[in-house]
Amino acid sequence: MHQLKCCKSYVYPPPIANHPLHILCCTDALYAAYCGVTATSVLESCKDTSVAVHIITDGIKDRDKELFGILAKTYGASIDITTIPAPILENLAHNQGRWPRSICFRLLAPDLLPDEINRIIYLDCDIIANTDLRRLWTTDMAGYAIAAVSDIDRCTDAALTGMLSALRELPQSRRYFNSGVMLMDLAQMRQTRVHDKMLRLIYEAGDALPYPDQDALNLILHGQWKRLPCEWNLMPWALVKSNQTELTAEEQYSVTETAIGHPRGIIHFYGPYHPWDCRSLIFHPMEHLWEHYRRMSPWRHSIRRIHPSHIMTRFHRQRLRMCWKLKIPTVYDTPWIDIPRRS
């Protein structure tokens, strides 16, 4: 099999192919620290599991490489950094609108990572893993190349327009998945070269795809993916009661646990909910969890949370935080009303 040549920097120690759990993160220099917090949450939550973290990047600072080394040594884990060479970067689509080219890096994983790695868990850099990932790792993928969580916000006819309208023919629960968390069968992807088709679509579609990489994944797979329980990618919509009609009782329990402050699973802070930027009027109730792992990470002194300068913004966020703790419904709704508890 043809494998892309790349610059690999082994941090500590060199990765071992037979590690029972492989994690993939992709980042550029701007998001390297946030990637480090995600990796910290994984290693802290999987203390009893041997973990190998693989990072694909177009280049990060030497200081961040040192901190990844410290993180690996702290947990006795393997972390390797793969730097994509310039010729490959030049071939990536440049017409991704407002999105950085790093969104495509995960689609290079089947060719950049060793052939011995047949399965991997991909995580975005705005994610916190707050549970052991072995249950996710051992999921039966039923022959699919990708396993992911359905994105209810993007499954509606109103959201699926233009090129994405082809997905409307699918059952609503299988129309569209969020690619922030994926269990990937790299062996099957290498065999079918499905990732090549996705990269080609991104290049050819240009601005026609609002979320280039995620839209391409959904269009090419066209419903041929394994649906995971929402606990493996708890997105902001999962915390809004009106969006829970598609959830099973088990998934509703996961959402309830998150609502009362005991989340189990993977928390995804996408969109305007990034916990390191507190200037927004939008408040995510799990910000404290991200802050917990930030303080545990080697980047605790290098990440500075951006706090609102306007006094009314600070007051508004404090009010939302108090409403959440007291279970008082707000304009953002709350999920703990009428959600069944596990017996």
List every span in the chain annotated with CATH 3.90.550.10: 7-231
Helix axes 62-75, 32-45, angle to 10 degrees: 0
CATH of domain 7-231: 3.90.550.10
**Do residues 128 and 269 touch, judged by C-beta distance below 8 A?**
yes
Neighbour count for residue 99 (Cβ, 10 Å)? 17
The β-bridge relationship of strands 51-57 and 226-227 is unpaired
pTM of the complete model: 0.84
pLDDT tens for the chain, residues 1 to 343 = 445 556 666 566 655 545 689 999 999 999 999 999 999 999 999 998 999 999 999 999 999 999 999 999 999 999 999 999 888 887 775 655 577 788 899 999 999 999 999 999 999 999 999 999 999 999 999 999 999 998 877 766 566 767 777 777 676 667 889 999 999 999 999 999 999 999 988 888 877 888 888 989 998 998 899 999 888 998 876 665 445 555 665 566 555 555 555 567 899 988 777 888 765 556 677 888 898 999 999 999 988 766 554 554 455 556 555 555 555 444 444 333 333 333 3
